[in-house]
Amino acid sequence: MKNIVIIGGSKGIGNAIVNSLIKSNKVYNISRTEPEIKHENLTHYSCNVLEDDLPQIENIDTLIYCPGSINLKPISRLSLNDFREDFEINVIGAVKSIQHYLPQLKKGNTPSILLFSTVASKLGMPFHASVAAAKSAVEGLTKSLGAELAPTIRVNAIAPTVTDTTLASKLLRNEKMIENIKERHPLKKFLNPEEVANMAAFLTSEKAASISGQIFEMDCGIVSFKI
């Protein structure tokens, strides 16, 4: 049984990860709101990662940082504060969490860190300037820390395409938009949170013991294929 800290596990992909790992691991969720799930292996800390002091947790094997943003506007309507806020949520929050828990991770059992990017970091997409810039920084952080923390701690990231979560609800708000998004992807689908959670469970397990510094595009073919 591993000790897993999940930042942002109350909703969306983070919540799916909590649900996938809770039965066989001790999970510590850190988020502003409490997950609906109740389990003897789950401990929740109410905390705003950007503003509050992170809780002290003695034993940690895995750190998963899930918070993200989807702030889609033309560059003419994106303020400098939009860029700052996206960078704070996606990058500074991750750095703060890693720095805080690094001493415990270094003493962990086959420790690993998992971050989240987006397919928009690889695929040029209109209106994604702010989030793509922030998530590109996450990818750089993943590779740099993967090298710096080897061989003790593995560091990887998942870069999902559109995922059926509350965060993406504006992109999936009616049947026409849903069909258009499906049609844009060569596999004619988009992701559900459980698919991403399965990848997260794999990357933080011993099955991925030889994988570090990698960005895994869960793209339904939109980056990889031109059909």
Kindly state whether residue 226 falls inside one of the protein's structural domains. no
Structural domain boundaries enclosing 210: 3-218
**How much is the pLDDT for 224?**
87
Burial of residue 10, with CB atoms counted within 10 A of its CB: 0-12 exposed, 13-18 middle, 19 or more buried: buried
Q: Report, in this order, helix, strand and coil percent for the chain, each rounded to 5.
A: 40, 15, 40
What CATH number corresponds to the domain at position 159? 3.40.50.720
Structure confidence by residue, pLDDT tens digits, 94-112: 999 999 999 999 999 999 9
Residue 171 pLDDT class (50, 70, 90 cuts): confident
**How much is the pLDDT for 70?**
85
Residue 87 pLDDT class (50, 70, 90 cuts): very high
Structure confidence by residue, pLDDT tens digits, 51-69: 999 999 999 999 999 999 8
Kindly state whether residue 104 falls inside one of the protein's structural domains. yes
Kindly state whether residue 87 falls inside one of the protein's structural domains. yes
d(CA 167, CA 78): 19
Kindly state whether residue 223 falls inside one of the protein's structural domains. no
Kindly state whether residue 225 falls inside one of the protein's structural domains. no
Look at the chain and report how many structural domains it folds into. Answer: 1
Q: What is the mean pLDDT of the chain?
A: 95
Kindly state whether residue 227 falls inside one of the protein's structural domains. no
Amino acid (1-letter code) at residue 198: N
Kindly state whether residue 159 falls inside one of the protein's structural domains. yes
Mean pLDDT over residues 150-168, rounded?
92
